[in-house]
């Protein structure tokens, strides 16, 4: 460094701060021996404030602008120390730059559940989380109360304390609100404003403000959420009996398709046996059984083998389920009645309440039909003997 640069550095100084870290709240302008030159230029940008500390005492706070550090615009420093001229620094002080912009997207949340009394479910445990923003509104108080002599102060150093304040006020506010758990999702905006208003006085003592506070979610313990999900499913299902049958059919289908499944093999054997039984009934209806003690073959009947040579017979199969009985509706004089069973229709036919021209309908039938045209009901009108023939002439 040449003599000219040395003299220039002694006579004039430029003090400013640019930050690209996005989380630095306070930084100290570093100079060798904290020497501030007489006539130095101080640049304070928008979103910043500069705090002058002289011999451990807060001297002044500068808002955004360009300042020439002289006695005529620094009356506070003038009363603190006489300014000499020369190559020696006239005073030794510290300048702290404070970021006054918002620090956004800061997270908060409850580490432990909050015990509340719900009007519908009784005592419940709640968890909540969200985000907030913070900014410095009183640089002097923030420096004296929080920062102290720290040369670089970041948001992480105070975010934990602010989170504790938010959780404390949120727990108190939500416990006293009386809002049902099922309605809290519709009141998160009001809860956020309420909590922000409650903590405003506390953070103001630090020189800070909370411009925004959001409650993103309020949740119940997993076991309670599962119970609520089951309750919701029951409301959607409606008929529990049909739902049980449906789930059983699904389970059987899944087991049948599962590889190496004993249940699938059992279901397959059952289906095969049912098919074999149906085929056996069909064959018995069209074939003539051989005589006792004989077997049939390509050359006719032949004696049956001895009892010791006969193959073991399979166990008798279970009979198929009975056919589903139809129920019927009757249409007379523009009105319908029913449903009626076939036995009931038979009694009605005997009493004359059901005639061949009466229109009937059953599920699966294509429109209304006369009872006499329905094969299943036509026999109801032939139970009684017809009238006797006239006597012979």
- What is the predicted pLDDT for the residue at 285? 54
Superfamily of segment(s) 103-224: Band 7 domain (3.30.479.30)
35-36 and 91-99 strand pairing: antiparallel
- What is the predicted pLDDT for the residue at 24? 92
Residues with Cβ within 8 Å of 209's Cβ and at least 6 positions away in sequence, in order, are 134, 135, 137, 200, 203
* Other Cβ atoms within 10 Å of 234 Cβ, number: 11
- What is the predicted pLDDT for the residue at 284? 61
- What is the predicted pLDDT for the residue at 300? 47
Answer for the pair 293, 303: CB distance below 8 angstroms, yes or no: yes
pLDDT per residue rounded down to tens, the chain (393 residues): 454 444 444 444 788 888 888 889 999 987 665 567 767 888 999 999 999 887 778 888 999 999 887 655 554 444 444 444 443 445 677 889 999 999 999 999 988 888 888 887 788 888 899 999 999 999 999 999 999 888 899 999 999 999 999 999 888 888 887 788 888 888 888 888 888 888 999 999 999 999 999 998 888 888 877 877 777 777 766 666 777 777 777 787 777 666 655 555 555 555 556 566 666 665 565 544 444 445 444 444 455 555 445 555 556 676 766 666 777 788 888 788 878 887 787 788 877 788 888 888 888 777 888 887 887 777 777 765 556 777 776
Strand partners, 370: 359
Residue with tokens 């409606």: 238
103-109 and 122-136 strand pairing: antiparallel
The two structure tokens encoding residue 240: 């529990």
Rounded distance, CA 62 to CA 228, Å? 58
Answer for the pair 111, 125: CB distance below 8 angstroms, yes or no: no
- What is the predicted pLDDT for the residue at 213? 93
- What is the predicted pLDDT for the residue at 130? 93
- What is the predicted pLDDT for the residue at 101? 93
Rounded distance, CA 125 to CA 221, Å? 7
- The burial class, CB within 10 Å (0-12 / 13-18 / 19+), for 147 is buried
Rounded distance, CA 27 to CA 156, Å? 14
Strand partners, 14: 41
Rounded distance, CA 249 to CA 55, Å? 86
The angle at the Cα of 353, spanning 352 to 359, to the nearest 5 degrees, equals 115
- What is the predicted pLDDT for the residue at 162? 92
Strand partners, 122: 118
- What is the predicted pLDDT for the residue at 223? 80
> Going by CATH, does the domain composed of 328-382 fall within 3.30.1490?
yes
For residue 359, give the H/E element and its range: strand 359-361
Segments making up each domain of the chain, as ranges: 3-99, 103-224, 328-382
- What is the predicted pLDDT for the residue at 15? 87
* Other Cβ atoms within 10 Å of 174 Cβ, number: 22
């Amino acid at each position: 460094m040449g003599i000219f640069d040395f003299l220039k550095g002694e006579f004039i100084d430029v003090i400013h701060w640019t930050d690209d870290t996005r989380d630095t709240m306070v930084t100290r302008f570093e100079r060798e021996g904290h020497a501030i030159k007489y006539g130095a230029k101080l640049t304070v940008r928008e979103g910043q404030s500069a705090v002058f500390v002289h011999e451990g005492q807060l001297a002044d706070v500068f808002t955004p602008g360009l300042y020439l550090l002289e006695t005529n615009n620094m009356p506070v420093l003038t009363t603190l120390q006489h300014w000499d001229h020369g190559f020696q620094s006239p005073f030794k002080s510290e300048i702290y730059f404070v970021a006054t912009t918002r620090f956004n997207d800061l997270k908060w949340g409850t580490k432990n559940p909050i015990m509340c009394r719900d009007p519908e479910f009784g005592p419940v445990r709640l968890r909540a989380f969200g985000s907030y923003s913070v900014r410095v509104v009183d640089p002097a108080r923030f420096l004296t109360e929080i920062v102290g002599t720290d040369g670089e102060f970041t948001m992480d150093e105070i975010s934990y304390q602010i989170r504790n304040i938010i959780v404390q006020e949120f727990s108190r506010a939500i416990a006293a609100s009386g809002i049902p758990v099922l309605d809290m999702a519709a009141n998160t905006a009001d809860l956020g404003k309420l909590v922000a208003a409650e903590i405003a006085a506390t953070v103001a003592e630090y020189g800070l403000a909370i411009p925004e506070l959001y409650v993103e979610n309020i949740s119940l313990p997993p076991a309670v959420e599962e119970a609520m999900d089951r309750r919701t499913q029951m409301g959607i299902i409606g008929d529990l009996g049909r739902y049980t049958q449906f789930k059983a059919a699904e389970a059987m289908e899944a087991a049948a398709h599962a590889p190496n499944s004993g249940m699938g093999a059992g279901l397959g054997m059952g289906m095969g046996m049912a098919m074999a039984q149906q085929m056996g009934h069909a064959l018995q209806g069209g074939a003539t059984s051989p005589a006792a003690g004989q077997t049939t073959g390509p050359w006719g009947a032949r004696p049956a083998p001895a009892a010791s040579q006969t193959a073991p017979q399979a166990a008798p199969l279970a009979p198929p389920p009975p056919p589903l009985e139809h129920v019927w509706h009757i249409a007379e004089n523009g009105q319908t009645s029913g449903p009626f069973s076939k036995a009931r229709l038979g009694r009605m036919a005997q009493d004359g309440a059901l005639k061949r021209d009466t229109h009937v309908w059953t599920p699966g039938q294509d429109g209304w039909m006369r009872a006499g045209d329905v094969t299943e009901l036509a026999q109801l009108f032939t139970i009684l003997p017809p009238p006797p023939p006239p006597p012979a002439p």
